Structure 1
Amino acid sequence: MAPSHISFLLLVLLLANKVVAKVPAVIVFGDSSVDAGNNNQIPTIARSNFQPYGRDFTGGKPTGRFSNGRIPTDFISKAFGLKPTIPAYLDPSYKISDFATGVTFASAGTGYDTATSDVLSVIPLWKQLDYYKDYQSKLRAYQGGNEANETIKEALHMMSLGTNDFLENYYSTFPPSGRSSQYTTSQYENFLIGIAGKFVKELYQLGARKISIGGLPPMGCLPLERTSNIMAGSGCISSYNDVALEFNNKLNNLTVSLNKELPGSRVVFSNPYFIFLHMIRKPSSYGFEVTSTACCATGMFEMGYACNRNNMFTCSDANKYIFWDSFHPTEKANQIVSDHLLKNVLAQFL
């Protein structure tokens, strides 16, 4: 069965059994994996609101999504019977009536650690929470207090971040990271876990009850990291993948403790690691042909402004590639990961 049909069939089966979808909105926090254009509205170089980004999006429009098309939360929103794309909160072309069924506060380049967001002057996680509070006020004015409170309670709140904390901060050599001199890798993981736990508790205090914490992908296999791994023949950096596995295990343990601590909450761990790794190891099983380099430009190190529309090396068919640029998946890969998470984790909210 083609992966693209999984979420659709899942919905059909649920509806056949008269299970009513109970998620009125998808509310998103995170980094470039789920930013739909918030960075377009702030002074940062971490942008993708130009071609060839978005060339396979509706109308071929570069929206600020770091992909050739849709990102995971877009597919998840559609699978829940909501709109096919989730808009960015700072996008002036949308208003609260659009955000009522889904909104993303995510900012490309950010992380759990505020020091990570400082690297590219993007929106830190605490500021995303401020925007969420502002959103709640507008939602109550739009829907009325009781309905808005119910929307918030039943909405699926999704978090997707952490990769930048390691690759753009902790392991950074240009400039050197202060965090690597302050913490061992394990200590830094625990530092981030503390921030993640505190953030979930703040969401809970604001009325959220359904919360998905996203894990890290095999970050040592991103084209940018493989390009730098010359001594190993441009293979995946295994030490980075090991850190991702360790951190994911701690995130999973965090969800267990949070569910015990927060009455009435349903906190889940959405882990993209193994489906990503399987795509990379068995690309033909998913219709992919290229795993080590990306579609954009040479596919080795370009992302953001380095991915310009005139680069003669940019591939013609992104569906053959797992990665769109050196850091981000193609729309096809995003859909496969989303369908996997829907089937294995998020179906319980349908």
Structure 2
Amino acid sequence: MAISSYTVALVVLLFDLSYFGKAANNEGLGASFIFGDSLVDAGNNNYLPTLSKANISPNGIDFKASGGTPTGRYTNGRTIGDIVGEELGAPNYAVPFLAPNASGKAILYGVNYASGGGGIMNATGRIFVNRLGLDIQIDYFNITRKQFDQLLGPSKARDYMMKRSFFSITIGANDFLNNYLLPVLSIGARISESPSAFVDDMISHFRNQLTRLYQLDARKFIIGNVGPIGCIPYQKTINQLSEDECVDLPNKLALQYNARLKDLLTELNENLPGATFVLANVYDLVLELITNYKQHGFTTASKACCGNGGQFAGIIPCGPTSTMCADRSTHVFWDPYHPSEAANLIIAKQLLDGSTKYISPMNLRQLRDH
């Protein structure tokens, strides 16, 4: 008995050592650190007292890892972050920072800090009561960063961060949808601040946030710009548009921000030695998908698969009482705000292997090996 338990202990120890060795020395992707909003939240909001939650059916109905039970992902299956990590060889999905199991070896392959309702600006998403803005997400990464020093030792941890890890940030849409464009909360801001002044504020905050991640040894960055938020089912429904129309103002604001973001990333690529900032052109990618949805095998790019209210089921978020479409793979949008897994797969494929039209200066497979 003593021998067998000794043997078991030895096997466990060897497994642990090989696990650490693999995580620290393998080629390919080390850890995937995901920051952002509900487009990439993998369940952080489950642990917050918030009005923005996706841990209710039928969200996650096609998420194989959970057997179709909701995980807090705001889609029917995998997020873009899940798909990209999988394709680049990460053995597990990045664990939500607030989840009880986000400690020890579980964090070696990545941590997800994203939060539904979160934005670049701290006031963004106040309507939801609680959410993690990007400043708080980076505070949380700082905690993870120290844990890596303890797990791998400071020198190996630094190397692992700089050479082997990805930092993807999908944020900005809520700064418009749930801040600047929200009449209840922001009427003051909109009277006192022009769109270009608000965008200036966002860029200035984002510059500081990205620089802070760089100071914590982040080197490989993927930054998504803001998509065509005037084309989501919610906006089309409340503005009573026809199938092929989008709301002008939100899209104009997104384009204004995106132009400034592009300049910011050029500036950071020049000024932060050793860093690579890759711009994911989500706006053009999603707009192309919406415009040419039939060529991609979809039957609609304006109606939410899961939702209620108005012509495009775009007013009430997806939940147990929502109507749900028969075939999720034929809808670009899962709910009034978020793409379906079928759309996420097409977007992720372009980010992984696409040309500089959608991802520049290199795609994500090239960035992994860079």
Q: TM-score, normalised by structure 1?
A: 0.89
Partner of 1:325: 335
Residues 247-300 of structure 1, C-alpha deviation per residue, up to 9 Å, x if partnerless? 111111111000111111111111111121111111111111011110113322
What SS class does the counterpart of residue 61 from structure 2 fall into? coil
Task: Measure, in 2, the Cα distance between the counterparts of 1:234 and 1:212.
Answer: 30
| 1:259 paired to 2:269 | yes
Alpha-carbon separation, structure 2, partners of 1:146 and 1:231: 56
**2:93 & 2:344 partners in 1: Cα distance?**
13
Q: Quick one: distance in 2 between partners of 1:71 and 1:222?
A: 17
The CA distance in 2 between the partners of 1:170 and 1:297, in whole Å, is 24
Q: Secondary structure at the match of 2:260?
A: helix
Q: 1:69 to 1:194 in 2, by over 3 A?
A: same
CA distance in 2: counterparts of 1:185 and 1:56, whole angstroms: 39
Aligned match of 1:14: none
Tell me which residue corresponds to 2:85. 77
> RCO greater where, 1 or 2, for CA within 8 Å and sep 6 or more?
1
Residue 146, structure 1, aligned to residue 155, structure 2: yes
- What is the aligned residue count? 327
Match of 2:316 in 1: 302
Change (3 A) 1:83 1:180: farther
Q: Aligned residue for 2:287?
A: 277
Establish whether residue 161 from structure 1 lines up as the match of residue 171 from structure 2: yes
Deviation at 1:232, TM superposition (A): 6.3
Corresponding residue number in structure 2 for 1:182: 192
Structure 2 residue aligned with 1:218: 228
Change (3 A) 1:198 1:176: closer
Q: Which amino acid aligns with 2:73?
A: R
CA distance in 1, matches of 2:27, 2:188: 46
CA shift, 1:348, in A, is: 2.1
Unaligned runs of 5+ residues in structure 2 are 1-25, 355-362
Structure 2 SS opposite 1:284:
coil
- Measured at CA, do residues 144 and 233 of structure 1 come closer, stay the same or move farther in structure 2, by a change above 3 Å? closer
Q: 2:28–2:89: 8 Å Cα contact kept in structure 1?
A: no
SS at match of 1:269: strand
- TM-score scaled to structure 2, two decimals? 0.85
Cα distance in structure 2, aligned partners of 1:21 and 1:278: 34
Post-superposition shift, 1:231?
6.2
Q: Retained in 1: the 8 A contact 2:45–2:131?
A: yes
Query: 2:367 is matched with which residue?
Result: 349
* Partner secondary structure for residue 64 of structure 1: coil
Q: Name the Cα RMSD after superposition.
A: 1.7
Contact 2:88 2:365 in 1 (8 A): no
Find the partner of 2:47 among 27, 41, 51. Answer: 41
CA–CA distance in structure 1, aligned partners of residues 224 and 307 of structure 2: 29
Contact (CA 8 Å) 1:75, 1:84: kept in 2 or not?
A: no
Match of 1:56 among 57, 62, 79: 62
Q: Which amino acid aligns with 1:28?
A: I
- Using the alignment, how far apart are the partners of 1:212 and 1:231 within structure 2? 33
One-letter amino acid of the counterpart of residue 79, structure 2? I
Q: Report the identity percentage.
A: 34
Choose the corresponding residue for 1:26, options 26, 32, 44.
Answer: 32
Report the Cα distance in structure 2 between the residues aligned to 1:118 and 1:87, rounded to whole angstroms.
Answer: 25
Matches of 1:97 and 1:253, distance apart in 2: 38
Contact map agreement 1:300 1:326 (CA 8 A) in 2: yes
2:116 alignment partner in structure 1? 108
Residues 1:126 and 2:144 are matched in the alignment: no
Change (3 A) 1:75 1:168: same
Long gaps (5+) in structure 1: 1-19
Distance 1:286 1:84, change over 3 A: farther
Cα distance in 1 between the residues matched to 2:77 and 2:236:
24
Deviation at 1:234, TM superposition (A): 7.9
> Aligned letter for 2:107?
F
Moved more, 117-126 or 100-109: 117-126
Q: Residue 176 of structure 1: CA displacement?
A: 4.0
- More off after superposition, 176-185 vs 243-252: 176-185
Q: Is the 8 A contact 1:109 1:117 kept in 2?
A: yes
**Structure 2: how far apart are the matches of 1:159 and 1:75?**
15
